[in-house]
Amino acid sequence: MLSLRVSLTATALACLIGLPLGALLAVARFRGRNALLVLVNALMGLPPVVVGLLVYLHLSRSGPLGFLGLLYTPTAMIVAQTILITPIVVALSRQVLDDLHAEYAEQFRSLCLGRGQAVFALIWDGRYSLMTVGLAGFGRAVAEVGAVIVVGGNIDHLTRVMTTAIALETSKGDLPLALGLGLILMTLALAVNAMVHGLRVTAVRYAHA
Amino acid sequence: MHEARIGTAMPVAARAPALMPLEVRGLAYEAGGAALVDGIDLTLTAGEITIVLGANGAGKSLLLRLLHGLIPASRGEMLWNGSPLDRMVRARQAMVFQKPVLLRRSVAANIDFVLAARGGRDAARRDALLHEVGLSDHAGQPARLLSGGEQQRLALARALATRPEVLFLDEPTASLDPASIVKIEQMVAAAHGVGTKIVFVTQDLGQARRLAGDVVFLSRGRVAEHSPAEEFFAEPASEAARDYISGRIVI
């Protein structure tokens, strides 16, 4: 299941990068913060093909990172999707953690917490709400076709994922197969969402109100 | 474990000079062009429990936040035994808020968090603190499922976990039941007994009489009166305080 592997890895990476950044944006107050928030929010709508193109330019033989030989590999697809959804994770986690921070800010200041401690505490205490943020990122990653097809190339058994296969079968005219693949993809997404939701409900019951 | 005490043994104080007395001169805080507190002159000494009284909007909570450095003053000077209110000074203070802000974690984890942030997880000390506030049986429960009184006791235990030399309390017993109020007053008195300076805001005159060593009475953002408790309750010097104590409504 290359689709799942690529998109889940990209989601994990995006959370690793995006959650601390989102929390930092929630905690920090500095000049230009609002401009940065607008920028990050705008980046949520980044067109997948454009991301694919940018990653392609870097990874192609003549590009600055061409020596890595990553173009048309699953790694390239993970990189592209990570870039695509990190802004989503940053922007949404910032919104979620803003509310939490508003509640905690005075207490944290009273305790003389450092910024790093505050960021980590916010992420930990907001972990159940942040699962939804991760899901939003995953949903975007698993559904997009533009970025993976540009940097992956839709090579059978190597870089072909569900969405690119659907695109291919549709253009070949094999609509029943394309539709079937589409159903499988949607079922997969549903299963992942259901799993996370179940996890969240159980965990919330045991952890806090 | 039973003899383990809270708020005792101040390792910081061993190295640094005491925080008290506090000297405040001309302290003011402005927001939206209006001075919410202004011209605050105040000297607080070690030893007494200081009760801050005043009507709603008199600036009691604001004064506490200014003294604790949660918000920056617009004007004026504040010296803690000669030191300005920097991070080092603030770290030797703690505050309990009217509405306890508890982390979305277990009761024990709320204490652990503070101990860890101050450089040392210490399960024995955490258990001693929880025992002191009568929450030992709730250690594993989610903190936010505790009753209001239990939450405030936990908030107080957490504040004491930092071994503060100055403890600010902002109406900590407002809307609590009598048993919780008694428990919190006992803990505050115990902390005072081992040398913690207490600055306590309340609207409860009975509580003020029970605890007060000296009283700071605020009126319209200014210190109307600062006197020893017996004096204040027997014969308030300011008209505003007389009205307040007698329950007369003044608009």
C-alpha distances in Å from residue B89, one per residue of B16, B137, B169? 10, 34, 17
Backbone angles phi, psi at A88, to 5 degrees: -65, -45
**Residue B189 and residue B132: Cα distance in Å, rounded?**
13
Chain B hits for A109, Cβ within 8 Å: 69-70
Range of the domain at B171: 11-102+166-246
B34 SS3 class: strand
Total domains, chain A: 1
Q: Rounded to a whole number, what is the distance in Å from the CA of A201 to chain B's nearest CA?
A: 15
**Residue A34 and residue A28: Cα distance in Å, rounded?**
11
3-state helix, strand, coil in chain A (%, to 5): 80, 0, 20
pLDDT at B248: 66
pLDDT at B193: 92
Chain A hits for B68, Cβ within 8 Å: 110
- Averaged pLDDT for residues B139-163: 92
pLDDT at B5: 45
A91 SS3 class: helix
Interior angle at CA B101, CA B97 and CA B103, nearest 5: 150
Structure tokens at A130: 């942040």
* B117 in A contact zone (CB under 8 Å): yes
Cross-chain residue pair B104–A121, CB shorter than 8 Å: no
Q: Rounded to a whole number, what is the distance in Å from the CA of A92 to chain B's nearest CA?
A: 20
Cross-chain residue pair A208–B143, CB shorter than 8 Å: yes
Cross-chain residue pair A207–B90, CB shorter than 8 Å: no
Are A164 and A142 a contacting pair, CB within 8 Å?
no
**Residue B225 and residue B218: Cα distance in Å, rounded?**
7
Residue B71: give its domain's CATH number.
3.40.50.300
Residue B192 forms part of a structural domain: yes
Cross-chain residue pair A209–B144, CB shorter than 8 Å: yes
At residue B86, does pLDDT exceed 90? no
Structure tokens at A144: 């997009």
* B87 in A contact zone (CB under 8 Å): yes
Cross-chain residue pair A111–B105, CB shorter than 8 Å: no
pLDDT at B3: 41
DSSP B7: S
Total domains, chain B: 1
What is the ipTM for the molecules in this complex? 0.83
Cross-chain residue pair A125–B144, CB shorter than 8 Å: no
pLDDT at B181: 92
Q: Report CA Rg, chain A.
A: 19
Beta-carbon contacts of B241 under 8 Å, excluding residues fewer than 6 positions away, are: B53, B217, B219, B224, B225, B232
Q: pTM to 2 decimals? A: 0.83
Cross-chain residue pair A208–B101, CB shorter than 8 Å: no
Mutation for testing the A interface, residue in B104, B110, B163 having most A CBs under 10 Å? B104
C-alpha distances in Å from residue A130, one per residue of A133, A194, B181? 5, 15, 37
Q: Choose among A172, A173, A145: nearest CA to A159.
A: A145
**Residue A47 and residue A146: Cα distance in Å, rounded?**
8
| Closest chain B residue to the Cα of A126, Cα to Cα | B104
| Closest chain A residue to the Cα of B117, Cα to Cα | A113
Residue in B101, B142, B143 nearest the CB of A107: B101
What residues of chain A score a pLDDT lower than 70? 206-209
Neighbours of B138 (CB within 10 A): 20
Residue B115 forms part of a structural domain: no
**Residue B118 and residue B164: Cα distance in Å, rounded?**
12
Q: Rounded to a whole number, what is the distance in Å from the CA of A2 to chain B's nearest CA?
A: 37
Identify whether B21 is preceded by a cis peptide bond (ω within 30 of 0). Answer: yes
Cross-chain residue pair A208–B113, CB shorter than 8 Å: no
Range of the domain at A52: 2-207
DSSP B203: S
Backbone angles phi, psi at A143, to 5 degrees: -95, -15
Beta-carbon contacts of B225 under 8 Å, excluding residues fewer than 6 positions away, are: B215, B216, B217, B232, B236, B237, B238, B240, B241
Residue in A104, A110, A125 nearest the CB of B95: A110
Mutation for testing the B interface, residue in A107, A115, A200 having most B CBs under 10 Å? A107
Residue A94: give its domain's CATH number.
1.10.3720.10
- Averaged pLDDT for residues B145-155: 92
Q: Rounded to a whole number, what is the distance in Å from the CA of A119 to chain B's nearest CA?
A: 13
**Residue A75 and residue B123: Cα distance in Å, rounded?**
45
Residue in B65, B69, B117 nearest the CB of A113: B117
At residue B111, does pLDDT exceed 80? yes
Within chain B, where are the H helices? 11-15, 60-68, 87-90, 107-117, 123-132, 148-161, 178-193, 205-211, 229-234, 239-246
